[in-house]
Amino acid sequence: MIDIKLIRENKELVKENIQKKFQDEKLPIVDEIYDLDVAYRDAKKQMDELRAEKNRLSAEVGALMREKKTAEANEIKAKVSQMNEEIAELTSKEEELSKIIKEKMMVIPNIIADDVPIGEDDTHNVELQKFGEPIVPDYEIPYHADILEALDGLDKEASGRTSGNGFYYLMGDIARLSSAMLAYARDFMIDKGFTYCIPPFMIRSSVVTGVMSFKEMDAMMYKIEGEDLYLIGTSEHSMIGKFKDQIIDKSKLPITMTSYSPCFRKEVGAHGIEERGIYRVHQFEKQEMIVICEPEESASWYEKMWQYTVELFRNLDIPVRQLECCSGDLADLKYKSCDVEAWSPRQQKYFEVGSCSNLTDAQARRLGIRAKSDKGNYYLHTLNNTVLASTRALIALIENNYQADGSIKIPKVLVPYMGGKEVITPKK
């Protein structure tokens, strides 16, 4: 959510930003908010003036009563009583206008960074740099589900019986390999100075609407029937929500945390959810990182965070690239975002394995996350980034470490987490 001062003082800037995000249907809302805000401030001004006059008259009543001027005092009391009714009406009007303004403000996108490329969808995202040499071996690399099944590591037939499409069983060494990656990602971030956390896997609606737009919520979140609880789609939601309505001591900034969680996603409208593989699924595991920091520090933290993901994937012998997200591909709360994509030697192209975002103060405004200074309270900046998402990272790892004999070479950093095992070989 943006600061309403932007609409008061420069609503054309807000409209220009909406057009950059190809959301022209929201343009009239800016004018609606402007007019509602004028009415809100007018009601507030009238109410403040009435309260001041009421206080003055109330003091006058006391003086008149002490002077035994009962008739005059009663006359003023009647005026005060009328004022109380007017104040009550204005209070109700102010509260109603405030509620409507907030609802409309929630759909206005965050102001994007000046250097964000302008484009309607992800086809306009821009490659910035590559890390590691993308290699295509001189032998065929099978589809990842076939590789996993040959290693007795994947059973989607059974998960279809128990849970339906979009779920899976990981088995044996492959299940262990998935856990090894997550454990390594956890320790990697702890070594970077981040505090490890296992957060709640369900959150209330007030947190959900604080961390994402309504459109994203409807597309992603599973709601618990009969409860004000949602299964998290990523642990950044409950991690940022941890600081809801808090005034954080400046001495504790920046807050840097890394978290493990399962993630649950509806994937509404997603293509290929019924495919044999594990690229797009309803459930996976994830190591995440979040930062809450001073506004002037968020740009530098953004650069650090995506580079941590690149470093981790290179340690897993996986070539990656950084892709700058264009304006139309940015979720409403994002100021700036980039994807880290892993090389697929089978498809001979890159695919997304992580996303890093700077949301400036958009989430903090929704959730009331502030710090205190000599000049008063102010909103902090929030950032999040994928360290490692289990299923997509597993695909990238097995493809880039697949050997001609069908075995998987285990990257050196994972060998200790695999009990010393260096290779996973087919059972047949």
pLDDT in tens, 100-136: 999 999 999 999 999 999 999 999 999 999 999 999 9
Please tell me whether residues 71 and 211 are part of one structural domain.
no
Query: Which domain, by its residues, includes 91?
Result: 4-105
Q: Give the C-alpha separation, 383 to 194, whole Å.
A: 14
Lowest mean pLDDT across 180-184, 284-288, 296-300, 374-378: 374-378
| CATH number, domain containing residue 173 | 3.30.930.10
Lowest mean pLDDT across 313-322, 374-383, 393-402, 408-417: 374-383
Q: Give the C-alpha separation, 379 to 371, whole Å.
A: 6
Q: Give the Cα-Cα-Cα angle 123, 126, 128 (nearest 5 degrees).
A: 155
Which three-class secondary structure state does DSSP give residue 402?
strand
Note whether residue 113 is domain-resident. Answer: no
- In this structure, what token pair is assigned to residue 118? 């302008």
Please tell me whether residues 74 and 132 are part of one structural domain.
no
Domain's final residue, options 71, 105, 139: 105
Percent of the chain at pLDDT > 70 equals 98
Note whether residue 94 is domain-resident. Answer: yes
Confidence of residue 150 (pLDDT cuts 50, 70, 90): very high
Quick one: which of 355, 358, 356 has its CA closest to 335?
Answer: 358
Q: Give the C-alpha separation, 64 to 304, whole Å.
A: 70
Residue 108 half-sphere exposure toward CB, CA atoms < 13 A: 29
Compute the average pLDDT of residues 252-258: 97
pLDDT of residue 216: 80
pLDDT of residue 420: 97
Note whether residue 115 is domain-resident. Answer: no
All residues at 6 or more sequence positions from 254 whose CB lies less than 8 Å from its CB, including other chains:
291, 292, 293, 294, 297, 301
Q: Mean of the per-residue pLDDT values for the chain? A: 93
Please tell me whether residues 89 and 128 are part of one structural domain.
no
Cβ atoms of residues 117 and 126 within 8 Å: yes
Cβ atoms of residues 389 and 406 within 8 Å: no
All residues at 6 or more sequence positions from 423 whose CB lies less than 8 Å from its CB, including other chains:
403, 407, 408, 409, 410
pLDDT of residue 276: 75
355: how many CB neighbours lie within 10 A of its CB? 21
Secondary structure element (H or E) that encloses residue 196, with its range = strand 195-197
Q: Give the C-alpha separation, 358 to 304, whole Å.
A: 12
Confidence of residue 428 (pLDDT cuts 50, 70, 90): low
Confidence of residue 144 (pLDDT cuts 50, 70, 90): very high
User: Distance from CA of residue 131 to its chain's centroid?
Assistant: 26
pLDDT at 319 over 90: yes
Please tell me whether residues 269 and 383 are part of one structural domain.
yes
**pLDDT, greater one: 316 or 273:** 316
pLDDT of residue 238: 95
pLDDT of residue 70: 80
Lowest mean pLDDT across 231-235, 319-323, 331-335, 424-428: 424-428
Q: Give the C-alpha separation, 71 to 304, whole Å.
A: 74
Please tell me whether residues 176 and 280 are part of one structural domain.
yes
157: how many CB neighbours lie within 10 A of its CB? 11
pLDDT of residue 85: 84
Note whether residue 114 is domain-resident. Answer: no
b/e map 370-389, b = 16+ CB within 10 Å? bbeeeeeeebbbbbbbbbbb
Cis peptide before 254 (omega within 30 of 0): yes
Confidence of residue 272 (pLDDT cuts 50, 70, 90): low
Give the N- to C-terminal CA distance of the chain in Å, as an integer: 56
Compute the average pLDDT of residues 359-383: 94
Please tell me whether residues 279 and 414 are part of one structural domain.
yes
99: how many CB neighbours lie within 10 A of its CB? 10
Please write the tens of the pLDDT for every residue from 322-369: 999 999 999 999 999 999 999 999 999 999 999 999 999 999 999 999
Confidence of residue 270 (pLDDT cuts 50, 70, 90): low
Confidence of residue 427 (pLDDT cuts 50, 70, 90): confident
Please write the tens of the pLDDT for every residue from 186-228: 999 999 999 999 999 999 999 999 998 777 888 889 999 999 9
Domain's final residue, options 53, 78, 105: 105
pLDDT at 185 over 70: yes
Please tell me whether residues 324 and 265 are part of one structural domain.
yes
Please write the tens of the pLDDT for every residue from 30-73: 999 999 999 999 998 998 888 888 878 877 777 777 777 888 77
What phi, psi does 340 have (nearest 5°)? -100, 125
Please tell me whether residues 50 and 165 are part of one structural domain.
no
**pLDDT, greater one: 92 or 131:** 131
Confidence of residue 268 (pLDDT cuts 50, 70, 90): low
238: how many CB neighbours lie within 10 A of its CB? 24
All residues at 6 or more sequence positions from 242 whose CB lies less than 8 Å from its CB, including other chains:
199
Work out how many domains the chain is built from and give that number. 2
Q: Looking at 250-328, which runs of residues are DSSP E strands?
A: 255-264, 283-293, 320-324
Please tell me whether residues 64 and 211 are part of one structural domain.
no
Longest dimension (CA), the chain: 107
